[in-house]
Amino acid sequence: YDKVEPKPALEPPCPSSDVAKNKVPNHYSYAKLSHEKIAAIRAKATTAGKDINLDYAQPSDLYPESFPHFVRGRDSAREYITKLFTSRIAFYDGAMGTMIQNFSKKNKLEEEEYRGEHFKDWKCNVKGNNDMLSMTRPDVISGIYKQYLEIGGSDMIGTNTFSSTTIAMADYEMEDYAYELNYEGARLARLACDEVTAADPSRPRFVVGAIGPTNRTGSISPSVEDPSVRNVTFDELVETYFEQAVGLVDGGSDILMVETIFDTLNAKAALYAVGEYLEFSGLDIPVFVSGTLVDQSGRTLSGQTGEAFYASIRHAKPMCVGLNCALGAQHMVPFVEKLAKCVECFMHVYSNAGLPNAMGGYDETPEMMAEYNKVFFEKGWLNMVGGCCGSTPPHIKAIRECAQNFSPRPLPAVGRPKMWLSGLEDLVVDDVHNHLGLPFLNVGERCNIAGSIKFKKLMMKGDYGSAMDIAKAQVEDGAHVIDINVDDGMLDGLAAMQKFVKIAVTEPEVCKVPFMLDASKFEIVMAGLKWCQGKPIVNSISLKVGEKLFKEQATLLKKHGAAVVVMAFDENGQAAEEDEKVRICKRSYDMLVDEVGFPPEDIIFDPNVLTIGTGMEEHNDYGIDFINATKRIKEQCPYVKISGGISNLSFGFRGVTKIRESIHAVFLHHAILESGMDVGIVNAKEMLAIDDLEEDMKILCENLVFNKDPDSTDEMLERTAYERACIDARKKGLPPPRKPRGKMINRPRVQFDYDKVEPKPALEPPCPSSDVAKNKVPNHYSYAKLSHEKIAAIRAKATTAGKDINLDYAQPSDLYPESFPHFVRGRDSAREYITKLFTSRIAFYDGAMGTMIQNFSKKNKLEEEEYRGEHFKDWKCNVKGNNDMLSMTRPDVISGIYKQYLEIGGSDMIGTNTFSSTTIAMADYEMEDYAYELNYEGARLARLACDEVTAADPSRPRFVVGAIGPTNRTGSISPSVEDPSVRNVTFDELVETYFEQAVGLVDGGSDILMVETIFDTLNAKAALYAVGEYLEFSGLDIPVFVSGTLVDQSGRTLSGQTGEAFYASIRHAKPMCVGLNCALGAQHMVPFVEKLAKCVECFMHVYSNAGLPNAMGGYDETPEMMAEYNKVFFEKGWLNMVGGCCGSTPPHIKAIRECAQNFSPRPLPAVGRPKMWLSGLEDLVVDDVHNHLGLPFLNVGERCNIAGSIKFKKLMMKGDYGSAMDIAKAQVEDGAHVIDINVDDGMLDGLAAMQKFVKIAVTEPEVCKVPFMLDASKFEIVMAGLKWCQGKPIVNSISLKVGEKLFKEQATLLKKHGAAVVVMAFDENGQAAEEDEKVRICKRSYDMLVDEVGFPPEDIIFDPNVLTIGTGMEEHNDYGIDFINATKRIKEQCPYVKISGGISNLSFGFRGVTKIRESIHAVFLHHAILESGMDVGIVNAKEMLA
């Protein structure tokens, strides 16, 4: 759109109203205008009750239809004036005041004549009030009108209403007569024009309603002491001008002229009022605007240049703009020339007859004045000409005769629209280059409370004078626009914004540039806007307030002519990622341009410059997302600008300007020159050009901005620390510190034969290690024969005990055909069937049970009585809301819902109505004892429904999914704000409740178990542990699905994990299908589903909400909308199963099914080399790690180990866990990938200390974002810590020194919990010191773990014992080389394992001298890692040397 050539203009820019665009003729029948505001003005007017004429329509056949004839009510004045002004120069009248003065020289026109009969007893002198002569001496005024028409030959005459406003009339105490004065002034002109037109219909004459400037100014203080004082407000001006417009139009005006503008703010108020009048009346009346440049400076009284004046009022789409008064024609030449080069509409001049003489008179003769005007005609600058002070009908006649042989000014060609701002001077944003040569608008940030501490302090003190100095300095330093933001909770923002702007507009060095009015509250920017004579930018509006208010705000800003910053926010929050930025901006654009009619060139989108380098992975792409979004938005939204608060980008590096401005330089260089960014809030003085950056700094910044390197944040933090140290050194007169080494090149990992195997296609998802699962043994479904004591005990204590309940769901083997897609329970393997189903098509789950129950209750009685039913009619507490119990009390309702999902929705699988059927959740209703029965009944009803529907079409068997909800308690989150170590549930309690639920669900006939709506992964791990125990005790193979819940657009669970970390934490349980549900709508889940789809090894599902909840807690997405939002999942091939959660119903599932049915399911990812995959809040693939020195090595931080840190030990002894967390945080900052936690000490209760430390640590995001290593000499202590870890940690350690039996028991338990394990090179005979012993013990341990326990080899870390060298004992001298050699041999013989060691042991004989110790470690690690494949070490990352 930038390359389109300008086209000839056929008309001036047109107002956006339909009547204007369609040239709808004014009906001139004003009696029928009924808007309440117009009616109120007429009702309070002095004409009220009088029979005045309001109808000026003419018979349509009064004059011929062809131009140049004109008939009111038939012809469009806009169309007529366009033809007139393009065919010849038109003629306006001359001075009314001069003619009245001339009349008074020959006729008596004193106080008595001014008063007339009507005002003979008026309370004050009125002589000089020329406008009132329209009432008291209409003969005089009519005579003057007619002279201009007949002698002057004027095509248009201005009404005698220059001062007919309530404000100006206050000088004569005649405010009440404002309407009547305007009415009469226009009526007399109407009569005169009609009389002259009747004499020659080929030259119709028009009445121009004259709207003068009033005698007060919005931009200028009447006080020399206080520049913030004003004697009129914008709203008062609007009110007075609106009344004037009503009177002028009611009197018969054809055109409205806002004239003699010496303060553009007054003109803006007048144009706003006229705009409101035209909107309320539904009329199209052309508007002319005439400015006054008071002297040879070429500026208005309020300081604006002519171009700035035009830029300030052009939003009102005047049909004609020009200059009048103050100067003679010869003095106006340079200013008219400048205006003629930029004005897009028609142009006029009506100058004075020279400058006033000593007596206040004007000496130019008609011939002289005509001669001085001639240059305008010769240059082709005008479409209309007239005269102002000192001019008379003969002057107009002479000018007319001079002009009649010249052509009018052609309208300029219409090119690409541009943003045209103004202060005292104009600024075309599209043509700007900043001081660095970039096509970029610098918006100065220092008059923003959030951007300058100094400014904030001054505003708090009320020191506006010094605040102005900050503003001036910004302009001097290169700011094109000044951002003004006074948002602060301790400040009256409304008052402060107004005072600042009112003072600023009186400071030429400040207000020569446009302003950006910036506030979080719309009323504050509006208050500031009403004191701006120029065209400012308003920052900001957005869709977060909803469409209705967004459009209202935009409409108001359009009326005021402001440009606007539109933030990339909507009702769901801030856009962080690229697609969201583009989507919200495009949605906003379409609304603004298509519905509001907002000029696209006046829209500035701010797609949110967000902070990079925070340490949170999801923030890493914020820079590149902004840059990419910028280009896409500008491609999709023609003519808009893109802006951003640049300081946000580097907020994490505040305090070091060099770092911040370097980041900005790289970001802006690419955002501006490659993507078209136009505007930014910056500190212009500090800005750097990209070529000014040191090469290494440039690389660091590019890595950070473009997220080229996962370590870029850490590297920039290191450089920041160095630059800060340089600042401190300069202050102290010290030499600069050593520059950091910068980015280390990642060294390759040692490759073994098993590392070189190519990935193979997956035929099934990862399978549990039980024989029944591996061999796909069908579930027998004959549960009565399950006799394990724990299962039997649950049945025995259940409320069903003694009842004859069905526990057998096996079907005859010949019930249905043996071939897929048929399925018979007891004959076929559910695992095998689901694999076939999920690889052949996308399967369909059900929707929301709760929504359906709510919907049922809207049409049927479902109150406390119905919830209780007969069984619970005397229950001790209220139970309404306990939806799960309806399986017992209203089975008809639940069965009905099941069947609707199966029959209408077409679900392949339905979840049981058991979301809260745990003893823990049922405690809310004192129904813990009913947990088993609730699960049994919920599953049984689903079983019956599925079997009934399957029987109708056996080729589509339906399955029961036993739903295991999250409970209402969380293992990872403290319910206490005071004590983060408090919990209201333990892991073992969760396991117990989930085990009972599993028994009930399977006994009721479930085919599959689903652990769902996981907002705390620790709860899910407990559920999976319980399900695992149940499957082990029962000997069954039942597929398990797992569904996580990411609570908002952060893409994290309530307990803080990313989707990838959540999966890494539960994948040990070998779920058959994993996915997301609840909390978000499908469109909000897209980026998170995409990330999961890239890493999940099993099948994947989504069952989203039907959008986000509305204000009433309901969901607004229709079935069609929900299906459309889910479509991206099918198009991208990310899913194997889809359904719905909150707000979804059978029609929603049906629509999703119809949308999905033509798409293929997600293929299982290829099976490659197994890798160790740990997690904290974030996931960590150990095999892919490189440390801060570029080594393929996992740094395990040693400082939270009592044996590794005296400081930590003292803190633990004191119980100062808060300070201990600071040590943990520091390790992560210093490069630890994993935190080792060891509280072994004889003086400490290790069991209690380990649990408390872990429980607190998992609530500290900067600590628990990394995985933990739980380290203790007693196995029960690491187990206690493990049960509070939602992530996947490492347990350190087990070994054969406890004997084979206990070793395997411990390993089996860790496998069930999903922990990785450190295995020490110890056996029953002691510690391995020499190479061969290290290898022998590790190989023996490996074979036992992998072959007998089934422990994943990739989750084994061998520690072959780093022992101390340099002790002076000869037998110790080979300990280092023995470890290095053993490492390689162990990795060769034990595929996929890791090798670790406590590195500090190596140099223990040199303790106290860190440099020596770390030098020894550097050499040892270099060879152990790069030559032998060592993977892991317990180290002090901060001290490590390359």
Q: Which residues contact 1099 (CB under 8 A, 6 or more apart)?
A: 765, 834, 838, 1072, 1073, 1074, 1136, 1137, 1162, 1164
pLDDT of residue 1203: 83
Phi, psi angle pair for 1247, to nearest 5°: -60, -50
Q: Which residues contact 870 (CB under 8 A, 6 or more apart)?
A: 889
Question: Which SS3 state, helix, strand or coil, does residue 1066 take?
Answer: helix
CA angle 1371, 1377, 1379 (to 5 degrees): 95
Question: Which SS3 state, helix, strand or coil, does residue 329 take?
Answer: helix
Q: For residues 140 and 133, is the Cβ–Cβ distance under 8 A?
A: yes
Q: For residues 589 and 600, is the Cβ–Cβ distance under 8 A?
A: yes
User: 419-468 pLDDT, tens per residue?
Assistant: 999 999 999 999 999 999 999 999 999 999 987 899 999 999 999 999 99
Phi, psi angle pair for 1238, to nearest 5°: -140, 120
- DSSP notation for 927-991: -GGGHHHHHHHHHHHHHHHHHHHHHH-TTS--EEEEEE---S--SSS-S-SS-TT--SS-HHHHH
Question: Which SS3 state, helix, strand or coil, does residue 518 take?
Answer: strand
> 1019: closest CA among 1059, 981, 980, 985?
985
Question: Which SS3 state, helix, strand or coil, does residue 1252 take?
Answer: helix
Q: In 164-268, at which residue ranges do the beta strands (DSSP E only) sit?
A: 206-211, 255-261
User: 945-990 pLDDT, tens per residue?
Assistant: 999 999 999 999 999 999 999 999 999 999 998 899 999 999 999 9
User: 816-849 pLDDT, tens per residue?
Assistant: 999 999 999 999 999 999 999 999 999 999 999 9
pLDDT of residue 1026: 98
Cα–Cα distance, 971 to 990 (Å, whole number): 8
Cα–Cα distance, 621 to 1259 (Å, whole number): 26
Strand 1356-1359 and strand 441-444: the pairing is unpaired
Q: Looking at the DSSP assignment, which residues form a beta bridge with residue 288?
A: 257, 320
pLDDT of residue 217: 95
Q: For residues 85 and 383, is the Cβ–Cβ distance under 8 A?
A: yes
Q: In 1176-1321, at which residue ranges do the beta strands (DSSP E only) sit?
A: 1179-1181, 1194-1197, 1234-1238, 1268-1271, 1290-1294, 1316-1320
Cα–Cα distance, 970 to 984 (Å, whole number): 7
Do you find a cis peptide bond into 540, omega within 30 degrees of 0?
Answer: yes
Q: Which stretches of the chain score pLDDT less than 70?
A: 741-744
Cα–Cα distance, 1260 to 1221 (Å, whole number): 8
pLDDT of residue 742: 65
CA angle 1417, 1418, 1422 (to 5 degrees): 115
pLDDT of residue 743: 62
Q: For residues 1343 and 1201, is the Cβ–Cβ distance under 8 A?
A: no
User: 172-199 pLDDT, tens per residue?
Assistant: 999 999 999 999 999 999 999 999 999 9
Question: Which SS3 state, helix, strand or coil, does residue 1011 take?
Answer: strand
235: left (phi over 0), alpha (psi -120 to 50) or beta: alpha
- DSSP notation for 519-562: -SSHHHHHHHHTT-SSB-EEEEE-GGG-HHHHHHHHHHHHHHT-
Name the token pair of 233. Answer: 């407000």
The alpha-carbon radius of gyration of the chain (Å, integer) is 42
Strand 481-485 and strand 441-444: the pairing is parallel
> 555: closest CA among 583, 593, 507, 581?
593
pLDDT of residue 354: 92
747-758 exposure pattern, b = at least 16 Cβ within 10 A, e = fewer: bebbebeeeeee
Question: Which SS3 state, helix, strand or coil, does residue 206 take?
Answer: strand
Q: In 1045-1145, at which residue ranges do the beta strands (DSSP E only) sit?
A: 1073-1081, 1099-1105, 1137-1140
Helix axes 522-529, 547-560, angle to 10 degrees: 10
Task: Tell me the whole-structure pTM to 2 decimals.
Answer: 0.58
Cα–Cα distance, 790 to 1027 (Å, whole number): 13
Q: Which residues contact 233 (CB under 8 A, 6 or more apart)?
A: 218, 530
Cα–Cα distance, 744 to 747 (Å, whole number): 9
Measure Cα distances from 396 to 26, 151, 201, 210, 258 in Å. Answer: 29, 8, 21, 18, 21
**Eight-class DSSP state of 693:** S
Q: In 235-319, at which residue ranges do the beta strands (DSSP E only) sit?
A: 255-261, 287-291
Strand 909-911 and strand 959-964: the pairing is parallel
Neighbours of 650 (CB within 10 A): 27
1329: left (phi over 0), alpha (psi -120 to 50) or beta: alpha
Question: For the chain, what is the largest distance between any 2 Cα atoms, rounded to a whole number of angstroms?
Answer: 134
Residue that is written with structure tokens 């549900």 in the block: 1077
Phi, psi angle pair for 452, to nearest 5°: -155, 115
The length of the chain is 1442
Q: For residues 331 and 373, is the Cβ–Cβ distance under 8 A?
A: no
CA angle 97, 103, 109 (to 5 degrees): 95
Question: Which SS3 state, helix, strand or coil, does residue 210 take?
Answer: strand
Name the token pair of 390. Answer: 């000192």
